[in-house]
Structure 1
Amino acid sequence: MRTIKAQHKAVYEPIGDLVTYRAMPTHAAPMNIIDPFIFLNHHGWQEYPPHNAGLPFGPHPHRGFETVTFILEGDLTHKDTTGIVSVIKEGGVQWMTAGRGLIHAEVSSPEFKALGGPLEILQLWVNLPAKHKMTEPKYVGLQKNDIPVAAFDNGKVAAHIVSGKWNDISGPFEPLTDIHLSFMYFKEGGKYTIQVPKEQNVFLYIVKGELKINGDFARIHHLVEFNRDGQMIEMKATADAIILFGYATPFNEPFFAYGPFVMNTREEIMQAYEDMKNGKFGDETALMD
């Protein structure tokens, strides 16, 4: 079995009235700890009242990585300077390749702001290798029904397959690198076992509940860091649980992150700010409400 190196508790850092737990980076879990997975924010769970202001993520730029956003409850409107507008609802996923750069906004739909309701959203940042840092920006948003579900342990485990191949089921998103991602629902007592090649890094975050993972208990709001000393990962839910689970081959490249940009050098970060200042990311005024 692959042994657990550490468990890192997410830090509670609300953004205005938005409940937010940052799983990485933290003091104990820096951005390079699970290459190429570099950032995870867990927003919610919370209940929004009617006539709310919605999510606070107005226009902002990105370059050099990808965002993968899981809408567990509520909805998310994506708008960017390539002209895309997309509203993804509960159970859906948005995958944005920032590449050479764009400006986007992530806000709540007019319907959600008017009516309110429960909200829980995860946003994961996946790094891009140097050869893909300046690729053309791309966005794909898929609703719940577009994402295949694989059942295990007589239906006690449901894996929503986002990318990569899982038991002959391929995820609908096609990353530039070998990113395997799923979000998994466990009923109490549900078991799931997977073998991940030693050379690949495993990303596992507990969204809800608790599980026993290779003999160790892991609970809500914890990021599990594994050694690369085995292949088998065995999970058993000791209560109803939801996890974000993935694995990928590390790039083993130095990278430099500052604000909304993730590049390989400080000089490339400075160039990103210069390019944004000169309008190369597009006109953000078109994204204003």
Structure 2
Amino acid sequence: MSPFFLLDFNAKMEFTASSEPRGVGVHPHRGFETVTLSYHGAIAHEDSAGNKGVIYPGDVQWMTAARGILHKEYHEQEYSKSGGPFQMVQLWVNLPAKDKMSTPKYQSIRQSDLGKHVLAADAGTIEVIAGEYEGTDGPASTFTPLQVYNAKLNPEGEALFNFPTHYHTGFLIIEGEVIINGNHKAAENQFVYFSQDGEKICLKAQLNSIVLILSGEPINEPIAQYGPFLMNRPEEIKQALDDYNQGKFGYLE
């Protein structure tokens, strides 16, 4: 679903309290961006470019690995000590060839920074993370045209979306239950991928619902992927491995 290469969804679950934060230790990335969205729980991030921070429910972490970065992600210390509900999404967003070796960067986006479009008739709110919805812009900067929203709908609330036919579009039902285009029901934890044969999509909530909306212009380039590296050609994967083993991605304890 270019430019989205991977969607890792941690459906809502409960973590017990722990004195040792759970998470993923130091690992590399090259050639794409990781976008982490928090719905429940808190995650602490640190990377070899000197960026660090914590995302709480409603926040977004947008990390551009580009030419190479090391990072680690763990449950935030206080959340780890108390435990509680946890629900996250991580996207891998591909970069075009011309930007794969650009400088890494990090965008820490608080929920208060998101663009918010209030729908008519008390239908709900569209939170705009990237792109634009009905004149409301999102704060994330992107390398290719992307639309990333959280649609938060009240029961019977409706929202209309209009994406170019050639875009790849998918909806992840984070919470609740919805009807799409009048006759397709989608329940919590389901993903809906749309065929490229129309531009307008109607979303109607049956319950209080949260839907992650993803749409973007495809990157029509070859893909070579190995583990945490996403490039265009196999020889670039080999170079990424060599650079990582030679310490060219920086240092992080």
- Name the counterpart of 1:8: none
- Name the counterpart of 1:137: 104
Distance in 1, Cα, partners of 2:105 & 2:38: 19
Does residue 61 of structure 2 align to residue 94 of structure 1? yes
Distance in 1, Cα, partners of 2:109 & 2:22: 20
Root-mean-square deviation (Å): 1.3
Equivalent of 1:243 in 211, 214, 226: 211
Listed as ranges, the gaps of 5+ residues in structure 2 are: none
Distance apart, 1:155 and its partner CA = 3.0
Equivalent of 2:140 in 173, 190, 198: 173
Amino acid at match of 2:132: K
- Name the counterpart of 2:197: 229
Using structure 2 for the length normalisation, give the TM-score.
0.95
Equivalent of 1:198 in 157, 165, 173: 165
Using structure 1 for the length normalisation, give the TM-score.
0.84
Does residue 211 of structure 2 align to residue 259 of structure 1? no
Contact 1:153-1:192 at 8 Å conserved across structures? no
Amino acid at match of 2:123: K
Runs of 4+ with deviation above 6 angstroms: none
Distance in 2, Cα, partners of 1:249 & 1:185: 24
Which stretch of the first structure deviates more once superposed, 78-87 or 154-163? 154-163
3-state SS of paired residue (1:172)? coil
Distance apart, 1:160 and its partner CA = 1.3
Distance in 2, Cα, partners of 1:270 & 1:151: 48
Distance apart, 1:157 and its partner CA = 2.2
Distance in 1, Cα, partners of 2:125 & 2:22: 28
Contact 2:153-2:210 at 8 Å conserved across structures? yes
- Name the counterpart of 1:23: none
Listed as ranges, the gaps of 5+ residues in structure 1 are: 1-33
Contact 2:4-2:91 at 8 Å conserved across structures? yes
Distance apart, 1:235 and its partner CA = 0.8
Which stretch of the first structure deviates more once superposed, 48-57 or 107-116? 48-57
3-state SS of paired residue (1:221)? coil
Distance in 2, Cα, partners of 1:93 & 1:138: 14
Q: Call closer, same or farther: CA 1:155–1:55 in 2, change over 3 Å.
A: farther
- Name the counterpart of 1:269: 237
3-state SS of paired residue (1:173)? coil
Contact 1:63-1:102 at 8 Å conserved across structures? yes
Deviation by residue 1:132-161 (Cα, 9 ceiling, x = unmatched): 111110001122212222121433222111
Does residue 236 of structure 2 align to residue 283 of structure 1? no
Distance apart, 1:52 and its partner CA = 4.9
Distance in 2, Cα, partners of 1:255 & 1:201: 17
Which stretch of the first structure deviates more once superposed, 80-89 or 234-243? 234-243
Distance in 1, Cα, partners of 2:135 & 2:74: 35
Q: What number of residue pairs does the alignment pair up?
A: 252
Distance in 2, Cα, partners of 1:196 & 1:148: 18
Distance in 1, Cα, partners of 2:40 & 2:178: 22
Which stretch of the first structure deviates more once superposed, 126-135 or 50-59? 50-59
Contact 1:52-1:116 at 8 Å conserved across structures? no
- Name the counterpart of 1:24: none
- Name the counterpart of 2:8: 41
Deviation by residue 1:55-95 (Cα, 9 ceiling, x = unmatched): 32111110011111111111111100011111121110000
Distance apart, 1:248 and its partner CA = 1.2
Distance in 1, Cα, partners of 2:191 & 2:180: 12
Distance in 2, Cα, partners of 1:149 & 1:54: 33
Aligned pairs for 1:47-58 (under 5 A) are 47-58=14-25
Contact 1:129-1:251 at 8 Å conserved across structures? yes
